[in-house]
Amino acid sequence: MDVKFIDTTGWQETYWLNSGGTREKHILQDENDDLWYFKRSERKPGKGNNPEKYYKDEFWSEIIAYQIGNYSI
pLDDT in tens, 3-46: 788 899 999 988 776 666 666 778 899 999 999 888 766 777 88
Measured at the alpha carbon of residue 58, what is the angle toward residues 52 and 62, in degrees to the nearest 5? Answer: 160
Strand, helix or coil at 29? strand
CB 54 within 8 A of CB 45: no
The β-bridge relationship of strands 35-39 and 43-44 is unpaired
Q: Is the pTM of this model over 0.95?
A: no
The alpha carbon of residue 32 and the mean position of all alpha carbons in its chain are separated, in whole angstroms, by 20
- What's the pLDDT score for residue 61? 78
Q: From CA 54, how far away is CA 65, in angstroms rounded?
A: 19
Q: For the chain, what are the domain ranges?
A: 12-70
